[in-house]
Structure 1
């Protein structure tokens, strides 16, 4: 029989039904990376779910959360870690852990394969980072068991949407491409960064088009930019643009 630890969690619809949201924030040299962007995305989801009464109080709420995070890092200095901020109607928690991505993973690149589970591009929850995360976690575990790093979801139309924990990017020549938001995906913080700072074409991409691209990489807040060596049966052998983006991102 496993040991259970009681906490101050208040059962609510977040606990019972997954009506909650969270953000995972990279902490580098005790600084929260893209903190404002994470808190703004959390605020939008919280307003949609009715956790915050109005936009005015939401602005004050962000200021309070930011100060709490600064106080937390002051008491718990972190060189390379992850903060997780979880919010439901009656609960707010801040936890931390190590960032476990390794240098060897970037050198090797991720191997990806397609999941049999489809993304529902018609659901508003697809576009938020909610506590309805079981598909992602279970498919990620299954991927590890089968010897690859990340499962890739198609939507109900057979279009590429996202990875279990990542956004997808492709390179053709020097041009960047990524699945459009309408394909059913979370608008990741690193995705937003790339779209803001580079010319990226948002488009519909189907599995049969993957071989038309020269490079592929995935992004999220914790791994940054990760090269891809394989998606399904197709292998990517070039990393020229990916390496340039990785270098630029590490410098800023």
Structure 2
């Protein structure tokens, strides 16, 4: 079942048409969230990012779009889908109302909440999996504010996903127009070299990820580790001790191979333990 503007509908219900601006122009933003046992993880961070994204796209924010209102609608949808006591993935999509061409006639919004069950209540690392990545160089991310938000304009990510599948890679790393590594196709990138962990700055076109923010905080409180928000060149990838990718659904995904380079996962495992400790507290 799906929640459309506060009304929970059957999956077969027809409630969108060809005039939808998210379909026509990518005029939409979204949040991907994780919930466990009726608790939305890092909800305040997600809510604040959603509000910031809507302001960047000049959408009118409805008065009822409070943190409490949207959380209640998410929890209602989880309950209707009978996953409110389980671990679940949620997608909250906000798109501008129908009308207009490039210039909208109405800056108001509609929203959709979708849910699906996840298997594990905590973040896990598959230690046996050889997770291999490659650079995607067919198209580039433009550095700037629009690249930091989760909008429906994801053509580069889609094409990188197809490239990875066709060439039997598990993921691709995306470059910006200055040929710096900005992110992975489905999350933020962290590079470990000695006691220093680097992650691309938002100004390089990296997504303003929720798990990115949480890991920056965890690393900042970890002895013997230093966090740098700094550009990463492709050359640095093969000099790194570890690479890992973060998103709110998978947590930390250690990269095991890039070209001829193979990586360790010791720092990834340690940080994952600290991340799961936060998840337990939230639960």
TM-score when scaled to structure 1?
0.87
Does structure 2 retain, via aligned residues, the 8 Å contact 1:106–1:226?
A: no
Deviation string 1:2-25 (CA, Å, 9 cap, x unpaired) is xxx662126343231001000111
Q: Is the 8 A contact 1:114 1:232 kept in 2?
A: no
Work out the CA distance in 2 between the residues paired with 1:31 and 1:6.
27
Say yes or no: does 1:76 pair with 2:102: no
Q: Which runs of 5+ in 2 are unaligned?
A: 1-11, 98-109, 221-226, 279-283
Q: State which of 146, 156, 159 in structure 2 corresponds to 1:138.
A: 159
Q: Distance in 1 between matches of 2:176 and 2:277?
A: 35
SS at match of 2:168: coil
Task: Report what 1:63 is aligned to.
Answer: 68
**Aligned mates of 2:213, 2:269 — CA distance in 1:** 19
**Which runs of no fewer than 5 residues in structure 1 stay unpaired?**
none
Q: CA RMSD in A?
A: 2.3
Is 1:215 aligned with 2:236?
no
Residues 168/204 of structure 1: CA separation in 2 closer, same or farther (3 Å cut): same
Aligned with residue 206 of structure 1, among 212, 217, 233: 233
Name whichever structure is richer in helix by fraction: 1
Residue 177, structure 1, aligned to residue 198, structure 2: yes
Matched, 1:95 2:126: no
Report the CA distance between 1:88 and its aligned residue. Answer: 0.6
Q: Is the 8 A contact 1:109 1:227 kept in 2?
A: no
The two structures have a TM-score, normalised by structure 2, of: 0.78
Tell me how many residue pairs correspond in the alignment.
243
Provide the rounded CA distance (Å) in 2 between the counterparts of 1:146 and 1:246.
29
Q: How far apart, in 1, do the equivalents of 2:187 and 2:127 lie?
A: 15
Deviation track 1:70-116 (CA, whole Å, cap 9, x = no partner) reads: 22223334323210000011221001124479967454252111112
Aligned partner of 1:40 among 38, 45, 48: 48
Q: Measure, in 2, the Cα distance between the counterparts of 1:232 and 1:154.
A: 16
